[in-house]
């Protein structure tokens, strides 16, 4: 860690303090150990929704790259059990913490417990979601209660985690945040995808995810000078034993003609949390099989 004081000579009023891991100043790439750039050894990475379909793959991947993982999820998901399995398998210290992302007291308790256990936070990944969107309601009859729940968990939960844990990282002068919006904050759902199935995607999901995208870009700019990078990963169509008709429809509309797997999303996270992405902030990595390319 190096502390650099940059004074702008053209202005008496502008003086920025950067406190960040400074990349090697060279044009000779042969001096660089590129494998090491991807290492997460001894970094403390917090993953909300860590017991979910994608969250579990995120936890496994970052543990394989050497991180200490904090699995944060609702109590019913039993994050402590999964954390114990990760620790037994990888040897890195991993802990599970019960969390309700929409509750600031719970999020503050999460931060305090991590600092008491590890003394630092290097990575924050917000991979939680409210599942109300799986019960599709036509836009004309969406209940306010469902709208509020989706926005509260998805968007407010991401805001609180960024505010409480991200502010800690900004104060310390380094960190990487990865938020998870959705394809449906980039493009609208193709309604034909759901034909002949029991599925759908309600507007509240798209709206909450659009907010996460905007918030992430805001924070990328806001915290850039503080050494905290804020990026996004947008997964798409991650297979979870979907009904056959949905999988067929999906293949029909996808350039790659198939759904994805959670382990195909997780490598993007290793990249964004590690020094390999040291010049990347405000980016949304689309792991979507080309869905938004045509
Ligand atoms: N699965 C996909 O195809 C897909 C596509 C695009 C985006 N995403 C996004 O990726 C992320 C992960 O998706 P997934 O498929 O793993 O979802 P998932 O439903 O399998 O997992 C979500 C996790 O969030 C947890 N959670 C729910 N409410 C919570 C709360 N109030 N506080 C804390 N944790 C809570 C759940 O217990 C669960 O473990 C979500 O943000 C989702 O919107 C998923």
Average pLDDT over residues 109-133: 94
- Taking the centre of ligand 1 as the mean of its atom positions, its distance from the CA of residue 49, in whole angstroms, is 6
Average pLDDT over residues 141-145: 90
Instruction: Please give the Cα distance from 48 to 70 (Å, whole number).
Output: 8
- Taking the centre of ligand 1 as the mean of its atom positions, its distance from the CA of residue 26, in whole angstroms, is 41
Average pLDDT over residues 222-236: 98
Show the tokens assigned to 41: 């050894």
Atom of ligand 1 nearest to the CA of 183: 6
CA 47, chain centre distance (Å): 8
Q: From 46, 48, 51, 53, give the residue whose CB has the most ligand 1 atoms within 8 Å, as the site to mutate.
A: 53
How much is the pLDDT for 5? 37
Query: Is the CB of 100 inside a 6 Å radius of any atom of ligand 1?
Result: yes
Query: Is the CB of 125 inside a 6 Å radius of any atom of ligand 1?
Result: no
Share of the chain above pLDDT 70, in %: 91
Q: What is the pLDDT of residues 65-102, one digit of tens each?
A: 999 999 999 999 999 999 999 999 999 999 999 999 99
Residue 95 carries which DSSP code? Answer: E
Looking at per-residue pLDDT, the higher value among 57 and 21 belongs to: 57
Looking at per-residue pLDDT, the higher value among 233 and 198 belongs to: 233
Q: What are phi and psi of 82, to 5 degrees?
A: -65, -40
- Taking the centre of ligand 1 as the mean of its atom positions, its distance from the CA of residue 180, in whole angstroms, is 9
How much is the pLDDT for 131? 78
Atom of ligand 1 nearest to the CA of 51: 39
Work out whether strand 2-7 and strand 15-20 pair parallel, antiparallel, or are unpaired: antiparallel
Closest CA to 144 of 219, 203, 72, 217: 203
DSSP-derived 3-state class of residue 25: coil
- The count of other CB atoms within 10 Å of the CB of residue 246 is 18
Sequence-separated (6 or more) residues with CB below 8 Å from residue 61:
263, 266, 267, 269, 270
* Residue that is written with structure tokens 């256990």 in the block: 117
Query: Which secondary structure element, helix H or strand E, spans residue 20, and what is its range?
Result: strand 15-20
- Taking the centre of ligand 1 as the mean of its atom positions, its distance from the CA of residue 292, in whole angstroms, is 21
Show the tokens assigned to 268: 């993007």
**Is 99-293 in CATH node 3.90.1150.10?**
no
Instruction: Please give the Cα distance from 252 to 203 (Å, whole number).
Output: 23
Sequence-separated (6 or more) residues with CB below 8 Å from residue 247:
239, 259
Q: Whose alpha carbon is nearest atom 36 of ligand 1?
A: 49
Beta strands in 102-209 (DSSP E): 123-126, 175-179
Q: Are 141 and 194 in contact (CB under 8 A)?
A: no
Q: Are 253 and 183 in contact (CB under 8 A)?
A: no
Instruction: Please give the Cα distance from 155 to 112 (Å, whole number).
Output: 22
How much is the pLDDT for 198? 85
How much is the pLDDT for 2? 38
Average pLDDT over residues 7-31: 62
Query: Is the CB of 175 inside a 6 Å radius of any atom of ligand 1?
Result: no
- Taking the centre of ligand 1 as the mean of its atom positions, its distance from the CA of residue 126, in whole angstroms, is 9
Closest CA to 150 of 140, 162, 158: 158
Q: Are 292 and 188 in contact (CB under 8 A)?
A: no
Looking at per-residue pLDDT, the higher value among 197 and 3 belongs to: 197
Asked if residue 7 has pLDDT above 60, the reply is: no
- Taking the centre of ligand 1 as the mean of its atom positions, its distance from the CA of residue 48, in whole angstroms, is 9
Q: Whose alpha carbon is nearest atom 12 of ligand 1?
A: 127
Looking at per-residue pLDDT, the higher value among 6 and 119 belongs to: 119
Query: Is the CB of 51 inside a 6 Å radius of any atom of ligand 1?
Result: yes
- The count of other CB atoms within 10 Å of the CB of residue 71 is 31
Q: Whose alpha carbon is nearest atom 1 of ligand 1?
A: 238
User: What pLDDT band is residue 20 in, cutting at 50, 70 and 90?
Assistant: very low
């Amino acid at each position: 860690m190096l502390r650099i004081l940059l004074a702008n000579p053209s202005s008496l009023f502008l003086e920025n303090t950067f406190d960040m891991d400074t990349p090697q100043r060279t044009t000779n790439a042969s001096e660089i150990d590129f494998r090491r750039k991807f290492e997460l050894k001894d970094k403390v990475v917090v993953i909300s929704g860590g017991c979910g379909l994608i969250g579990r793959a995120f936890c496994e991947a970052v543990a394989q790259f050497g991180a200490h993982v904090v699995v944060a999820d609702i109590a019913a998901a039993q994050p402590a059990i999964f954390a114990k399995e990760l620790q037994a398998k990888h040897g890195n210290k991993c802990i599970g913490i019960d969390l309700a992302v929409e509750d600031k007291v719970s999020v503050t308790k999460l931060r305090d417990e991590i600092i008491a256990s590890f003394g630092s936070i290097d990575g924050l990944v917000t991979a939680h979601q409210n599942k109300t969107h799986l019960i599709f309601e036509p836009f004309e009859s969406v209940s306010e209660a469902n709208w509020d729940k989706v926005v509260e968990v998805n968007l407010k939960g991401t805001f609180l985690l960024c505010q409480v844990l991200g502010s800690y990282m900004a104060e310390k002068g380094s960190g990487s945040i990865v938020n998870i919006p959705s394809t449906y904050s980039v493009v609208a759902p193709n309604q034909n995808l759901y034909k002949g199935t029991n599925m759908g995607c309600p507007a509240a999901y798209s709206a909450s995810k659009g907010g996460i995208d905007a918030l992430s870009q805001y924070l990328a700019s806001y915290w850039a000078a503080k050494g905290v990078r804020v990026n996004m990963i947008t997964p798409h169509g991650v297979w979870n034993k979907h009904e056959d008709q949905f999988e067929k429809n999906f293949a029909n509309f996808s350039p790659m003609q198939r759904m994805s797997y959670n382990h195909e999303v997780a490598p993007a996270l290793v990249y964004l949390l590690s020094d390999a992405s040291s010049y990347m902030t405000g980016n949304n990595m689309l792991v979507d099989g080309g869905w938004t390319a045509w």
